[in-house]
Amino acid sequence: MKAFAELCKALDLASTSAEKILALEGFFATASTADTRWAQYLLAGSKIQPRINPAQLKYWAILEAQIPNWLFADCQDLINDLVEVCSLIVSQTVESKNHSLDYWLKFLENLDENDKQAGIISAWREQDPLERLVFNQLATGTLKLRLPPDISLNGHTHPQQTSFLELPPTAKFTPTAMETGWEYTPEKISTILALLVYGQRGVGKQRHSYILTFAVWEGAQLVPITKVEMQTSDERFSELHKWMKENTLEKFGPVRSLRPDLVFELQITGVKPSARHKAGIAVREPRILRQLDNMLPTEADNIAKLKSLC
Amino acid sequence: MLKHTSKGLYCEQGDFYIDPVLPVDKAVVTHAHSDHARSGHQYYLAHKHSLPILRSRLGENIRAEGLEYGEMRNINGIKVSLHPSGHVIGAAQVRLEFKGEVWVVSGDYKLEDDGFVPVFEPVKCHHFITEATFGLPIYNWQPQAQVFSQIYSWWQGNAAQNRTSIISAYSLGKSQRLIFGLSKLRGNQAAEIYVHESIARMNVAIRSQGFELLEDNIPSLTIPSSQAKQSKYSQGLVLAPANADPTWLSLFGDYALAECSGWMQTRNFRKRASLDAGFVLSDHADWKDLNFAITATGAENIYTTHGFTSPLARWLKEEKGLNAVELGGKS
């Protein structure tokens, strides 16, 4: 699964569609038929039914790593991702056989109900850290890989998002493995109204993008909640850039603070509490839907609404 | 024997500081990285391999004396010696002995043999002041051979796409380790490896100490000429310092940028750095090696400094039964 894990890492880091496509081409060039189909399914944003829950994952990782709970909590404070902490604190003890993605998904599928712990821990011991992260994300149903809509899977047909069973079977592909509970789990998508408060031009590799910071009300104050990247090639960019230049309050380096006049509708796929963010929450996968020119700044959402989405 | 002061670790009996942060009279310097070796001291004492680097960084006219590993100096009754810390060239732990009591200041260290600098040597002591840069159990390094092969295949993948591979790396330590490790994977050749001029200067200082970098002449790039865009470097691996000017980088045209450091272990740090790739290769000890090194000293009293000092001290105190505190903190 190393190749698939590398793909996940590359997609995670890629800032442009071109880079994502490059990584995808690299993966599909050498992937087996079975792995290709699994990857297509997962890349369509589809999920598989969790086999274990995060609390189990944490408990077993703590046992395997032999560390106290408070030390796990310190790690989690730093990287804010329970599944990743679990993946990093345990060590590989035997050489990786580099089993396929297909192998590990079937492994999860066939996990002994009465002794999931032994199965999961034995898997960890032969995985490298990147493989282990993807494995744990698959096991807990937390892998997120959805591609932007402008990327199609390199000549491969777009898979259906409803069920595995609609994918054409192949010799290596065994749909029966899915019948016992691997199902598509839809994400909860909501929209919020937020004010644009900072703009930052990217430098170096990021020079073709602009980072926009959005805020919502907390009483009479604005509290930043998220950043969204906009490509300078975006058709909405030039007008927005002109507005930003005219409405800059202060400039520090590449960052401009902006008059909080523009309301945007953002799409998000979730909100969760976060001690690391000033607002006390972290929003997931924010996307700009549209600018709402007829709205007053005071009509933007307040933090209480976002917290209610947690 | 040692006190934590605003200027740094101070030895009153010997009247000297170790890695002081403010100008002092006498400074013992563990290694030549800029957060440990600062300018403005009257006298420097360091491992002899650090001297050319200190001079190149702090000026040719500094007053500095070099010691061999294990060579002992008596400073007002304190026996002072330096021992390999495995961090970078010239890096040393400082051992102090006075009336039978032994203190060791680790400086920065790693345990894995990089094949380049002398390996970390555990030194028995009563008091051990340890770095804690990666003092959390999520920092768990893979063997370097695996990391080098990941870096190498990234480079080859970029070359196949005619993209220059650029790695930002410390000019002292990480750069030489990368040159050494990647040359080996190319059959002991450094063909197609290029370095930024600041790294080239460091290589000259290091080569003057008798270290081999496999090739005498790795091309130094000041400003890539307009030829860069004509794909002169499209098969190449370029080592650039972390603070390299984005304009300089953009002259390479199509390139992929990576960083090699322990911080690349976690997703959030990788993403924050806006890179094409991140590889986990560190000149610091990971969690298990910190624990191994601390145990190997046999010390009962541990002081943690730099990095995740608080969790490491608490772990050593509560789980290992050692008298461990954060340096400068309360016991």
| pLDDT of B224 strictly over 70 | no
Nearest chain A residue to B275, by CA: A13
Residue B92: pLDDT band (50, 70, 90) is very high
- Looking at per-residue confidence, does A294 or B53 come out higher? B53
Query: CA-to-CA distance for B175 and B283, rounded, in angstroms?
Result: 11
Whether residue B274 and residue A206 make contact (CB cut-off 8 A), yes or no, is: yes
What is the pLDDT at residue A169? 34
Query: CA-to-CA distance for B169 and B165, rounded, in angstroms?
Result: 13
What is the pLDDT at residue A186? 45
Query: CA-to-CA distance for B120 and B312, rounded, in angstroms?
Result: 20
What is the pLDDT at residue A97? 86
Determine phi and psi for B88, rounding to 5 degrees: -145, 180
Q: What is the pTM of this model?
A: 0.75
Tell me: the pLDDT tens digits for A257-292? 999 989 999 988 888 888 878 888 989 889 898 888
Whether residue B249 and residue A204 make contact (CB cut-off 8 A), yes or no, is: yes
Whether residue A19 and residue B138 make contact (CB cut-off 8 A), yes or no, is: no
Question: Terminal CA-to-CA distance of chain B, rounded, Å?
Answer: 17
Query: CA-to-CA distance for B263 and B124, rounded, in angstroms?
Result: 30
Average pLDDT over residues A188-200: 89
| pLDDT of A176 strictly over 50 | no
Interface of A with B in 58-117 (CB under 8 A): 65, 67-68, 70-71, 74-75, 78-81, 84-85, 88-89, 91-92
Whether residue B276 and residue A205 make contact (CB cut-off 8 A), yes or no, is: yes
**Helix B309-318 vs helix A69-79: crossing angle, to nearest 10:** 170
In percent, how much of chain B has pLDDT > 70?
A: 93
- Looking at per-residue confidence, does A111 or A232 come out higher? A111
| pLDDT of A178 strictly over 60 | no
What is the pLDDT at residue B11? 97
Tell me: the pLDDT tens digits for B153-173? 999 999 998 999 999 988 889
What is the pLDDT at residue A163? 29
Nearest chain B residue to A64, by CA: B137
| pLDDT of A181 strictly over 90 | no
Chain centroid, CA A253 distance in Å: 30
Distances from the Cα of B32 to the Cα of B72, B91, B196, angstroms: 20, 7, 19
What is the pLDDT at residue B330? 55
What is the pLDDT at residue A149? 73
With residues binned 3-state (H G I as helix, E B as strand, rest as coil), the percentages for chain B, rounded to 5, are 30, 25, 45
Whether residue A204 and residue B318 make contact (CB cut-off 8 A), yes or no, is: no
User: Is the predicted ipTM greater than 0.90, yes or no?
Assistant: yes
| pLDDT of B73 strictly over 70 | yes
Interface of B with A in 247-266 (CB under 8 A): 249-250, 257, 265-266
| pLDDT of A42 strictly over 70 | yes
The two three-digit tokens of residue A179, written as one number: 């019948």
User: Which among A134, A115, A143, A133 is positioned nearest to A42, based on CA atoms?
Assistant: A143
Average pLDDT over residues B105-127: 95
User: What would you report as the CA-atom Rg of chain A, rounded to the nearest whole angstrom?
Assistant: 22
| pLDDT of B191 strictly over 60 | yes
- Does the CA dihedral A65-A71-A74-A76 come out positive or negative? positive
Query: Mean pLDDT score of chain B, rounded to an integer?
Result: 90
What is the pLDDT at residue A270? 84
Size of interface A-B (CB pairs under 8 A): 82
| pLDDT of A161 strictly over 50 | no
Query: CA-to-CA distance for A90 and A93, rounded, in angstroms?
Result: 9
Which stretches does DSSP call E strand in A185-308? 190-201, 209-218, 221-231, 248-252, 255-258, 263-268, 270-273, 281-284, 287-292
Report CA dihedral (B267, A143, A40, B264) to the nearest 10 degrees: 10
Whether residue A74 and residue B136 make contact (CB cut-off 8 A), yes or no, is: yes
User: Which among B280, B317, B325, B329 is positioned nearest to B134, based on CA atoms?
Assistant: B280
**Helix B197-207 vs helix B174-185: crossing angle, to nearest 10:** 90
Nearest chain A residue to B271, by CA: A13
Asked if B277 reaches chain A (Cβ–Cβ under 8 Å), the answer is yes
**Would you say how long chain A is, in residues?**
310
Cross-strand pairs, A281: A273
- Looking at per-residue confidence, does B14 or B203 come out higher? B14
| pLDDT of B263 strictly over 90 | yes
| pLDDT of A160 strictly over 80 | no
Query: CA-to-CA distance for A100 and A150, rounded, in angstroms?
Result: 28
Cross-strand pairs, B95: B81, B104
